[in-house]
Structure 1
Amino acid sequence: MNPPTIKDVAKAANVSVATVSRVLHNLTGFSDKTKQKVLQAVEELGYQPNAIARGLINKRTQTIGVLFPDVSSNFSSDILHGVEDAAHEKGFSVIVCNTAEDGKRTMKYLQVLREKQIDGIVFTSEFLKDEYYEALNDMRVPVVLVNTQTHKHMIPYVKVDDRQAAYQATDYLIRNGHREIAMISGTLTDPIAGTPRVEGYKQALADHGIEVDEDRIAYGNFGYESGRQAMHKLLAEAPSFTAVFAASDEMAVGAMGAAFEKGLKIPDDLSIIGYDDLNISRMIYPPLTTVHQPLADMGRLATEKLIALIENTSQVSSSIVSHYIVERQTVRKLP
């Protein structure tokens, strides 16, 4: 049996196809009585409007694309949770694209999203290269950035102040009596979350009269294994230290594992503070002290901004969202 069509709905409600279409798209030109007849016919027949047909009418597919460098990470899944909640509340579907480390597949997925005729894009956690911007500009769809920003182009973003958050994490260690503090940073060349967090770390040390020692900074890629390797490097090569600021929770957990392998106890022998407040920070033992950034809320807010741009319902500006330190059990207060 073939699925019901809009013509079947019109016949059952004893109205024209045009009237059914106007009712389904919340237009004007019909009475409340007619509207109820149409909606009753839709329900009784189980009619599902065709997405392609809807798109031909309102010039939209009710679909947005989301680009992540790593969809498998806890970080990305938290943002995606907020994106999907906001999208589905507004009747939008979400296409998730894994652009891979260093954006190896970003251009490919931008072409895929263009072919899918998506209505807008949430672009996350990656530097907006000129080639990306040109491709996005050619698509002529709105874009909102999450956990990244661009000073070159007028694109709204949602993120925390990475420099200030890193400053506060380092300052927290100092206020707990630590002066020999190492850092496990993200990617060396990353201008979005890499460089600003290193700058915040260095500024906190300088403001407390502590000399910055470059040998106490090791670089990873925000992932677990890179944190583990960075900690091994610090323990083997850096001047002694009593605390570590890791620029992501995953690197912090990797660093904790490496410390345990060397027979060090956390926090008795070494204190560690992370960054993100992922679920893993509460699951590991001892629970990780970390900088909280509201990832799900960031995903939701970015999607709400994007849909406002798609529907042209309001002006949209960028947002710096709040962060704070979550105290758990990985930082020891020194005498």
Structure 2
Amino acid sequence: MKATIRDVARLAEVSISTVSRVMNAPETVVASKRDRVLEAIRQLQYQPNAFARGLIYKKSFTLGLLIPDIENLYYAGIIRGMQDACNKLGYSLMISNTDRDQERMLAYIDAFHEKQVDGIVLASDRLYPEYHERLTRCRIPFVLLSTHSDEHEVPSIEVDDEAAAYDAVKFLIDLGHREIGMIGFSHHDSIAGPPRYAGFVRALAETGLEDNAGRVKNANHRFEEAYQAAHELFTAYPSLTAVFCVADEFAMGTISYLKDRNILVPGQVSVIGFDNLRMAGMFIPKLTTIAQPIYELGYRAAEKLHELLTTGKVEVLREKMPHRLIVRESSRERGAP
């Protein structure tokens, strides 16, 4: 039978409260009693359960993570980073998939509140007034990941989407491409969609290619929808020689469409993605893409939430992490053999 705190107290001949103080504030216990308790813990191989630990600290040592699509490979890296940080910081992690459904999101917030999670990370979704009101009413500290709020002073961690998209399109322009299209995000409440489009437009405007700004078709977060968007894009603009895709899965859908039409990538059309998923280096051709530090974003989100929980504030409210261009096989200089 597993040893209890009562067993430790009996063996060490001290009170249960003394055992608790040895585990949580050992400097408050005289050396003789502390040594007896530690020896009893060793002999009995005692491990305090999470519930008892929570009663002592008035915390659950559990964080919640709300993500919109657990099937999206982007979130695998986010979850891995956050889980590793939680392990280091002494938290458990609860994950819920929202499908960007507002009723489901509110229900999960309520569920996390009932489970007494210490804090929540909300990933890749707009902070609607209903979410903010519910989280505030439940008094749950929270951090935004791969999103931000302009209306509220809420801690957030993300990349600079506008600058990253600009770098992607500028790279295509520097390769000599002048007929450039884009596969963007279609949902009207997208956080990343507008700034990535703004980066696309800024790069075009700086080089006198404003006519390309309307050469955009949109999709949701699925390969199949990107395939259809690529069909619509190239039907409308068959002269395109390069495409900027706002997600690697979109780039894969675009390349698959072009392959099915016997259009060579990068021989005839260069394609650049966004994210640098693990699959980006396995796909054929290997994707040129804008790399987000996906694992680090998840890890830092947990650290940021821990900082908020332990100090009541964060040093950097709206934090930006660096992106970088990864050049692989799906892009080529215009006209190169």
2:71 maps to: 72
1:200 maps to: 199
Measured after TM superposition, the shift of residue 220 of structure 1 is 0.8
Q: 2: distance between equivalents of 1:98 and 1:315? A: 26
Please say if residues 276 and 290 of structure 1, whose CA atoms lie closer than 8 Å, have aligned partners that are also in contact.
Answer: yes
SS of residue paired to 1:105: helix
More deviation, 29-38/93-102: 29-38
1:122 maps to: 121
Q: Cα–Cα, structure 1 residues 125 and 141, in superposed 2: closer, same or farther, change >3 Å?
A: same
1:234-313 superposed matches below 5 A: 234-312=233-311
2:154 maps to: 155
For 1:334, the aligned partner's letter is R
Gaps (5+ residues) in structure 1? none
1:1-335 superposed matches below 5 A: 1=1, 3-26=2-25, 28-103=27-102, 105-213=104-212, 215-312=214-311, 315-317=314-316, 318-335=318-335
Q: Percent identity?
A: 40
Gaps (5+ residues) in structure 2? none
For 2:179, the aligned partner's letter is E
Q: Cα–Cα, structure 1 residues 250 and 5, in superposed 2: closer, same or farther, change >3 Å?
A: same
SS of residue paired to 1:97: strand
Measured after TM superposition, the shift of residue 51 of structure 1 is 2.0
Measured after TM superposition, the shift of residue 212 of structure 1 is 3.3
SS of residue paired to 1:198: helix
Q: Cα–Cα, structure 1 residues 164 and 258, in superposed 2: closer, same or farther, change >3 Å?
A: same
Q: Cα–Cα, structure 1 residues 27 and 153, in superposed 2: closer, same or farther, change >3 Å?
A: farther
Q: 2: distance between equivalents of 1:23 and 1:81? A: 33
More deviation, 227-236/175-184: 227-236
More deviation, 16-25/37-46: 37-46
Q: 1: distance between equivalents of 2:175 and 2:33? A: 70
Q: Cα–Cα, structure 1 residues 169 and 32, in superposed 2: closer, same or farther, change >3 Å?
A: farther
For 2:167, the aligned partner's letter is Q
Please say if residues 202 and 212 of structure 1, whose CA atoms lie closer than 8 Å, have aligned partners that are also in contact.
Answer: no
Please say if residues 180 and 212 of structure 2, whose CA atoms lie closer than 8 Å, have aligned partners that are also in contact.
Answer: no
Give the paired residue count.
334
SS of residue paired to 1:182: strand
Please say if residues 246 and 252 of structure 1, whose CA atoms lie closer than 8 Å, have aligned partners that are also in contact.
Answer: yes
Deviations 1:246-294 (A, max 9, x none): 0000111111111111111110011000000010100101110000110
For 1:228, the aligned partner's letter is Y
Measured after TM superposition, the shift of residue 35 of structure 1 is 3.1
Measured after TM superposition, the shift of residue 215 of structure 1 is 4.6
Q: Cα–Cα, structure 1 residues 260 and 33, in superposed 2: closer, same or farther, change >3 Å?
A: farther
More deviation, 100-109/250-259: 100-109
Q: 1: distance between equivalents of 2:7 and 2:264? A: 71
Please say if residues 71 and 77 of structure 1, whose CA atoms lie closer than 8 Å, have aligned partners that are also in contact.
Answer: yes
Q: Cα–Cα, structure 1 residues 224 and 323, in superposed 2: closer, same or farther, change >3 Å?
A: same
More deviation, 203-212/219-228: 219-228
Please say if residues 204 and 213 of structure 2, whose CA atoms lie closer than 8 Å, have aligned partners that are also in contact.
Answer: no
| Alignment RMSD | 1.6
SS of residue paired to 2:210: coil
Q: 2: distance between equivalents of 1:243 and 1:40? A: 69
For 2:9, the aligned partner's letter is A
Q: Cα–Cα, structure 1 residues 17 and 261, in superposed 2: closer, same or farther, change >3 Å?
A: same
Please say if residues 121 and 305 of structure 2, whose CA atoms lie closer than 8 Å, have aligned partners that are also in contact.
Answer: yes
Q: 1: distance between equivalents of 2:197 and 2:309? A: 36
Q: 1: distance between equivalents of 2:159 and 2:123? A: 13
Q: Cα–Cα, structure 1 residues 327 and 5, in superposed 2: closer, same or farther, change >3 Å?
A: same
SS of residue paired to 1:60: coil
Please say if residues 200 and 213 of structure 2, whose CA atoms lie closer than 8 Å, have aligned partners that are also in contact.
Answer: no
Please say if residues 69 and 103 of structure 1, whose CA atoms lie closer than 8 Å, have aligned partners that are also in contact.
Answer: no
